[in-house]
Amino acid sequence: MTAPAQTPANQSLLGRLKDIAGHSHVLTSEAETYRFRHGFRFGAGKVLAVVQPGTLVELWRVAQACVAAGKIIIMQAANTGLTGGSTPDGNNYDREIVLISTLRLTGAHLIGGGKQVVCLPGATLYELEGMLGAIGREPHSVIGSSCIGASVLGGISNNSGGALVQRGPAYTEMAVFGQVGEDGTLRLVNHLGIQLGNDPEAILNKLQAGTFSDADIDWDAGRGHDNNYITHVRDVDADTPARFNADPARWHEAAGCAGKLVVFAVRLDTFPAAKNPAVFYIGSNSTDELEDLRRHMLTGFEELPIAGEYIHRDAFNIAEKYGKDTFAIIRKFGTKFLPKMFAMKSKFDIFSKKFGFLPENLSDRIMQALSMFIPTQLPKRMLDYRDKFEHHLMLKTSATLAAPMKAYLEQFFTTATGEFFECTPDEGSRAFLHRFAAAGAAVRYRAVHHREAEDIVALDVALRRNDREWFEKLPKEIEDKIIVKLYYGHFLCHVMHQDYVIKKGYNAMDVEHSMLPGLDQRGARYPAEHNVGHLYQAPDVMLAHYRELDPCNCMNPGIGLATKKKNWVAESV
């Protein structure tokens, strides 16, 4: 049988894509496409090609060509997702896949004096944070409140959450996107609230160049973030979670589209950066004490904290050992170096696979060995609390809230069993960085302990806002299949990240499925912020949403364990 890439129709399409994006930006070999086809934690499959357009017009033409050729399109930005939502899922598709990488489409335009921003598909959080930092403002999410290296549009497409409790999940009602209709035609939709003309290519040229004026902008076009979230999260007696991906209240076109649209730009609100924030480090051996703190912090002050991040002692220890090099690199070089580092790591992994005698995960094992020579990165007071307390909470407040919060904590811990201290600026920075280093620590642990570890189960769980029994207790039959558990999360929002390293010989998917009924009984919702990807069954309301956005099922089919077939034809049993 002729290989798919060698058929005349496919050769014609590949030639067209090379004419549009340039020969060097249409990748077809296994080695060239490897890092795009494999997810950060999950997801892998074959593609006909990976295309890297360099302009919005090129993206439009590439998408048009793929739709006309009847190919599946998977949109991918930074590929930092944890559920495989922007990579292929196996090879059981009824059409060939063209994966479109938007990494070259960087850039953002500040409008309204920086109170809002228009982000292009490849804009990353660190890029936007740097741009806004120069004018004393911040984006919706900041580095560390979501995946390090993540794209802005990836967050919007998946309603990503993050640590900043005042801002809620990533959301906007203003975007420019391409949508494939029931007739199989790709159309450009401008709901950005900016007059850019009528011709698609003229619109996209103007959008990329930013050649529009304030007079072109409709300042009442829609919301640029979920401005109701503060009221929502304060309702600590509600019997439902504060935020989760399958909440229809936070879907609007590009927001929550999960790759079912070709998104060219989104328009978002920005926020004043907090000056001289305070960080309090809290340790306790009582989950009840931390829950009492959470409820009062959300209801007892006129102003909400900026963030409240939880980490369990076991996750603290794993992150200290297996995330130390990432921690040190960010401290030394900043987050802007990470994408380059990950790209070099990916190239090394691809190269090492050519030699069958080399071990799996060689780059991780080398990096872990080198990390042994890095000195301890954590302050002594944090290490002392690690030894004394099982549960750790990092609380960041504005300068105005710092004094009332400190007074409350002093009073609370006169009778409570835990303790707290106010961090120096360096301690506060290290505390939050350590918390976010935990997110990649399980991956490194599995790579180093490959003989004992089968795989990782990674859950992000939205607990009910009134749930006092927030700390998980697993049945013994599940515990016996786990080497180590990493619990960490956005505590004030009651969103927990739960990573489990599964013992060799057990199927990780089976273990995960055995956990889900317990979460259902607790009234939890999952996933909370990483979206369904190819790991979770999307509920009916979410599948209806995806069908409305993509009636032909040609954009990222299979999301939410749905059918991958054209026009949503049911899979045969």
Annotated binding site for FAD: 77-81, 85-86, 144, 151, 161, 258, 263
Hunting for tokens 């999952």 — which residue is that? 526
Residues annotated in the binding site, as ranges? 77-81, 85-86, 144, 151, 161, 258, 263
Instruction: Return the exposure string of 1-30: e unless at least 16 CB atoms fall within 10 Å of the residue's CB, then b.
Output: eeeeeeeeebeebbebbbebbeeebbbbee
Q: Contact at 8 Å (CB) between 474 and 515?
A: yes
561 alpha carbon, distance to own chain's centre: 19
Closest CA to 266 of 203, 200, 174: 174
- Quote the distance between the C-alpha of residue 559 and its chain's center: 16
**What distance in Å separates the CA atoms of residue 233 and residue 492, rounded to the nearest whole number?**
8
Contact 135, 165 (CB under 8 A): no
Whether 563 contacts 571, CB under 8 Å: yes
* C-alpha separations of 156 from 4, 162, 187, 510, 513 in Å: 34, 12, 21, 31, 28
Q: Is 410 exposed, middle or buried (0-12, 13-18, 19+ CB in 10 A)?
A: exposed
Give the position of tokens 């949503």.
568
CB atoms within 10 A of CB 548: 10
DSSP three-state, residue 235: coil
Q: How far is CA 109 from CA 116, 128, 190, 295, in A?
A: 9, 10, 16, 39
Omega of the bond prior to 359 within 30 degrees of 0, cis?
no
Distances (CA, A) of 465 to 140, 247, 253, 256, 306: 22, 15, 27, 22, 18
Residues 6+ apart with CB under 8 A from 237: 465, 466
Alpha carbon distance 252, 175 (integer Å):
10
**Token pair 């949508």 in the structure block, residue:** 179
Q: Kindly report the backbone phi and psi dihedral angles of residue 34, in degrees, each rounded to the nearest multiple of 5, phi listed first.
A: -55, -50
C-alpha 436/C-alpha 315 separation (Å) is 11
Q: How far apart, in Å, are the Cα atoms of 396 and each of 337, 419, 432, 435?
A: 26, 16, 9, 13
Q: How far is CA 474 from CA 34, 92, 462, 518, in A?
A: 37, 34, 17, 8
Chain centre distance of CA 352: 28
Instruction: List the one residue out of 535, 561, 496, 510 whose CA is nearest residue 83.
Output: 535
